Amino acid sequence: MELSTRYLGLTLRNPLVASASPLSKTVDGVRRLADAGVGAVVLYSLFEEQLHREALQDARRAEAGTESFAEALSYFPAGAGEDHGPRRYLNLLERAARAVSVPVIGSLNGSTPGSWARYARSMQDAGAAAIELNIYYLPGDPHIRSGDVEQRHLDILARVKDAVTVPVAVKLSPYFSATGEMVRRLDEAGADGLVLFNRFLQPDIDPETLTVVRAVSLSTPAEIRLPLTWIALLRGRVGASLAATTGVESSIELIKYLLAGADVVMTASALLRHGPEHAAVLLDGLCEWMRRKGYATVEELRGLLATPVGADETARERGDYVSALQHANSTDYGPW
Ligand SMILES: Cc1cc2nc3c(=O)[nH]c(=O)nc-3n(C[C@H](O)[C@H](O)[C@H](O)COP(=O)(O)O)c2cc1C
């Protein structure tokens, strides 16, 4: 079975990629993912905020002159469970990239166009085969203009692209007025890949304790529908690679994303739930299905169910919606 895949100009042994998550917080974790068979590993994110904090620490140290590093750090204590992010991150990246034969991708996470983006270069120098730029930005202020939100994405990408020669993938939100146009403009601005999509942290409310609960929850397969729709719509319409992320629990979701046209399919929640070795289960399931359906290579099946290029995408989506709702409205949902 031939699973090899091109992603961001890199050749991967298969289209399954370990998405950014705490599983890649140690070299051992990265090694377990590689041993389980994934085609590439995206490290957990280094955040713009951590880089700002480090810059402040450096400035503080320089100001203090003779002050020791430990003393300087005490002015800006790290968050819980965090050990002075950027230096540790580069060290891990360097060791992980040497420890495994699959590409290790560094993840840089931010929301403003700033000098922090230059850190992508340090990731490249530490051995990152590519950079995944996660632009996580929720324009909560109702005065923020949609055009400014889009321009912000392009400006951040430009800064990262300026800093590196390795490929850059952009992980973005699905919530734009015209998501397709945003993707196209990122593609034109030089994004080598689009990672669809960021899962927004959607706080819950606990009515008993009257508190807002802000916790990351693991995904479910029902969540694949939104990225699946956009992967199918974008396939063949942009030069950048398309990566699907969200909702892969079994090989079924992996297969669906490939049929929609994803170049690679990422997974985090399922590996957190079942352990890194679950990657082998996903790949075995893909191979078993390919054998049963008579496919010898992933290329033969990739994009088979994408929206055909040349179709009137907007009319088609509207038509599908109207007929689905008409069908739903003539369905008997009882008995009550
Ligand atoms: C516990 C946890 C930690 C995550 N950390 C990161 C991160 O550091 N950077 C990032 O870009 N995405 C992060 N993600 C998002 C995942 O990479 C992924 O895009 C998302 O969970 C959807 O994929 P899934 O349904 O396979 O989990 C995290 C997700 C989880 C569940």
Q: What pLDDT is stored for residue 268 in this prediction?
A: 98
Distance 316 CA to ligand 1 centre (A): 32
Q: What pLDDT is stored for residue 84 in this prediction?
A: 57
Residue 336 inside a domain? The answer is no
Residue nearest to atom 23 of ligand 1 (CA): 246
Determine whether the shortest distance from the Cβ of 64 to ligand 1 is under 6 A: no
List the one residue out of 100, 130, 133, 131 whose CA is nearest residue 33. 100
Residue with tokens 């968050």: 79
Number of domains the chain is built from: 1
Q: What pLDDT is stored for residue 64 in this prediction?
A: 84
Q: Where are the alpha helices (DSSP H) in 104-220?
A: 119-126, 146-163, 179-188
Residue 335 inside a domain? The answer is no
Residue nearest to atom 30 of ligand 1 (CA): 21
CB contact burial 261-282 (16+ within 10 A = b; e otherwise): bbbbbbbbbbbbeeebebbebb
Q: Where are the alpha helices (DSSP H) in the chain?
A: 27-35, 48-64, 69-75, 85-99, 119-126, 146-163, 179-188, 225-234, 251-260, 269-274, 278-293, 298-301, 313-329
Q: What pLDDT is stored for residue 77 in this prediction?
A: 45
Q: Report the CATH number at residue 161.
A: 3.20.20.70
Q: What pLDDT is stored for residue 68 in this prediction?
A: 53
Residue 255 inside a domain? The answer is yes
Q: What pLDDT is stored for residue 65 in this prediction?
A: 74
Determine whether the shortest distance from the Cβ of 218 to ligand 1 is under 6 A: yes
pLDDT tens track of the chain, all 336 residues?
999 999 999 999 999 999 999 999 999 999 999 999 999 999 999 999 999 998 888 888 888 875 554 554 444 444 444 455 899 999 999 999 999 999 999 999 999 999 999 999 999 999 999 999 999 999 999 999 999 999 999 999 999 999 999 999 999 999 999 999 999 999 999 999 999 999 988 899 999 999 999 999 999 999 999 999 999 999 999 999 999 999 999 999 999 999 999 999 999 999 999 999 999 999 999 999 999 999 999 999 999 999 999 889 899 899 999 999 999 999 999 999
Q: What pLDDT is stored for residue 193 in this prediction?
A: 98
Residue 142 inside a domain? The answer is yes
Please tell me the pTM assigned to this model. 0.93
Range of the structural domain that residue 111 is part of: 5-330
Q: Token digits for 225?
A: 């529908």
Distance 20 CA to ligand 1 centre (A): 5
Determine whether the shortest distance from the Cβ of 245 to ligand 1 is under 6 A: yes
DSSP assignment, residue 305? Answer: T
Pocket mutation for ligand 1, best pick of 21, 108, 216 (most atoms within 8 Å of C-beta): 21
